[in-house]
Amino acid sequence: MGNLSTLLQEPRRLGRTELRVSALGFGGAPLGGLYEPLEMAAAERAVALALELGIHFFDTSPYYGDGLSELRLGELLAGRRSKVVLQTKCGRYGRDEFDFSAARVRASCEMSLRRLRTDYVDILLAHDIEFGRREQILEETLPALIRLREEGKARAIGVSGYPLEVLAEVVESAEIDVVLSYCHFNLMISQLDERLLPLAQARQVGLLNASPLHMGVLTRLGPPVWHPAPKAVLAAGQRLLDLAESRGYDLPMLALRHCLDHGGIASTLIGMTRPEQVAANVAAASMAIVPEIRAEMDAIVDPVRNLTWEPEGQVARWRQNQD
């Protein structure tokens, strides 16, 4: 694993900013203990290997483990801060805890900086903005982020969320640098290309992609019981797994490579905590998807392609001006 993947040799510029991020990003959610107990020694080796192999973009949030992900990432990156592009978020702090007020944005940023052991982050995002109100996000949250950028506490600012229509409205209405979408571009869905990608490119906004494994659908373990996708999507995911294994492929690697091949996406984030995960993800960046396996996968996915699970009324609630 000593040679860098071709995809990781040249970092990609993030929109109109001066930031350049690795095509494969180190997702920090598992560092918060959200999925399994964390072994810090293994996580230390994972971070070291990631940097060695060309992954230098690291993502976290105070939501991941009630600040634990940030604390641990700050420890793991001690002495390495200058080597990485560091992204965190604000606005979401628990499953049902949201606060997008200007005062909380500032307080959250200060706390994140302390946990991360740094005096600035490269990217600061408002997290899952669809749970806020459009009026507040545009008139209070984003101006607060802009002030933090002006003060040098964040080099770039932006938003993250699930509904593409919500993200598109902010890209159209505000001067942001970065937008992070999840579960809208992977083997099973390509909706990102239809609305958000052309808009982000026209506005020179950096585009980040998360959940390349469709929140567990494209893994051997399978999706969690709470996964909101339609049953037909979950069944197609199992058929993809069976196909990949019958052809001698690892489905998560195929899924990750599919995302990394998208030239309009600056970076795709995937969670990592162990060196073997880092090695596998980097190997995915070097593999080739032969036309035959891609055609077979498309045949499975096409009947359910772009089936989403957006909660009814979510976008309408976002547009309401009242609490």
Query: Which positions are annotated as active-site residues?
Result: 64
CA–CA gap between residue 22 and residue 295 (Å, rounded): 28
Q: Which residues pair with 210 in a beta bridge?
A: 182, 269
Token pair listed for 226 = 């709470």
Sign of the dihedral defined by the CA atoms of residues 21, 26, 28, 31, in that order? negative
Token pair listed for 197 = 């990608």
Sign of the dihedral defined by the CA atoms of residues 214, 9, 178, 60, in that order? positive
- Other C-beta atoms lying within 10 Å of the C-beta of residue 62: 25
| Pairing outcome for strands 85-90 and 121-126 | parallel
Q: Which residues pair with 186 in a beta bridge?
A: 189
Token pair listed for 22 = 């690795």
CB 40 within 8 A of CB 320: no
CA–CA gap between residue 100 and residue 140 (Å, rounded): 8
